[in-house]
Amino acid sequence: MSKRMDNQSSVSEFLLLEFSAVRELQILHFFLFLVLYLAILAGNLLIISAVAFDKHLHTPMYFFLTNLAMQDLGSVSAIIPKSMANSFISARHISYSGCIVQVFFFVFFVGSDFFLLTVMAYDRYVAICNPLRYEMVMNRKACTQMVASVWITGLLYSVLHTGGTFAVPFCSNIINQFYCEIPHLLQLSCSNSYLAEVGALVFSAIIELGCFIFIILTYVLIFTAVLRMPSVQGRQKAFSTCLPHLIVFSTFIFTGWFAYLRPPSDTPSDLDLALTVIYTLIPPMMNPVIYSMRNKEIKVALAKLFACICSSKSISFTLCM
């Protein structure tokens, strides 16, 4: 299939960017992504299992954290397995429908991720600035409604962008990225109708900027309240509950900025590829580490979980003997 298909308004498949044409490097890419993917799966599944297993973690903060872990699992699962499969069989193609599915689910999970981080900032604000009203404000019904709103908003967000992207005719089928990324897909448009999706992107950027400002203002109020606390221990505890969320949010935002504020080029760039890999893999991989590293409750829950698993295996082994 040619790079530029004159007088054609559709393509049957797209060709994704190869990490390398050298077979040995393709296999290396496959195993590298496999290790990273398994690490992301293990880390996030451990967080989900720990929260589900330990009833002491059945609180709003860990309820949100469980949803964040599910979103991280979804975002990497939408794009990484296809890239690994292509490297393993030395291929580049992805079907038109497969590209639609990839864009839909990736935007859905990443968009939901961002909206959930905004809700989690509000949760920390209520917990620290209005602790006496926390249980009343962040009750189970309110938390469920917030999370449902996050997922529904992410779904609408994805439908908007997926529909806007694939409503345009494509004059090329070569994507200069290792997955179907919207800015690179828009470069393949052979009409001005892509401006509708550009408008949707601008609208989304405004919404995301509003969420970003909300989170920043929320943390200004949080830090102001924390610094007024008379107890040093109280300040340390408050900071320890906010720091993981702040690090996760910063990682998500800054890697995304580095990846998307650079205009997509017509020719493949190693820097663009590296930034995209960082943006898609680092936040989902680091989130479980960040929340576990400074969180004694998560550590205790994981220790109990491992102890339970080990004891179950011992009992099973004894019965087999």
Please check the confidence at residue 320 and state whether its pLDDT lies above 50: no
Tokens 């880390």: give the residue. Answer: 43
Tokens 């720091």: give the residue. Answer: 243
Domain extents in the chain: 13-320
- CA-closest candidate to residue 62, choices 237, 241, 219, 197: 241
% of the chain residues with pLDDT over 90: 39
% of the chain residues with pLDDT over 70: 87
State mean pLDDT over 206-228. 88
pLDDT band at 242; cut points 50, 70, 90: confident
The larger pLDDT score, comparing residue 280 to residue 304, is at 280
pLDDT band at 317; cut points 50, 70, 90: very low
* DSSP at 12: S
> In this predicted model, what pLDDT tens digit does every residue of 120-161 receive, in sequence order?
999 999 999 998 899 999 999 999 999 999 999 999 999 988
- CA-closest candidate to residue 13, choices 80, 79, 93, 85: 93
Note the pLDDT of residue 138: 94
SS3 93: strand
Residues near 288 by beta carbon (within 8 Å), at least 6 away in sequence: 43, 44, 46, 47, 69
- Give the span between the Cα atoms of 39 and 63, in whole angstroms: 22
For helices 23-53 and 270-293, give the axis angle rounded to 10 degrees. Answer: 30
Task: State the fold for domain 13-320.
Answer: Rhopdopsin 7-helix transmembrane proteins (1.20.1070)
> In this predicted model, what pLDDT tens digit does every residue of 32-59 receive, in sequence order?
999 999 999 999 999 999 888 888 888 9
Concatenating the DSSP letter of every residue in 121-183 gives HHHHHHHHHSGGGHHHHT-HHHHHHHHHHHHHHHHHHHHHHHHHHHTS-BS--B-SSSS--HH
The larger pLDDT score, comparing residue 312 to residue 115, is at 115
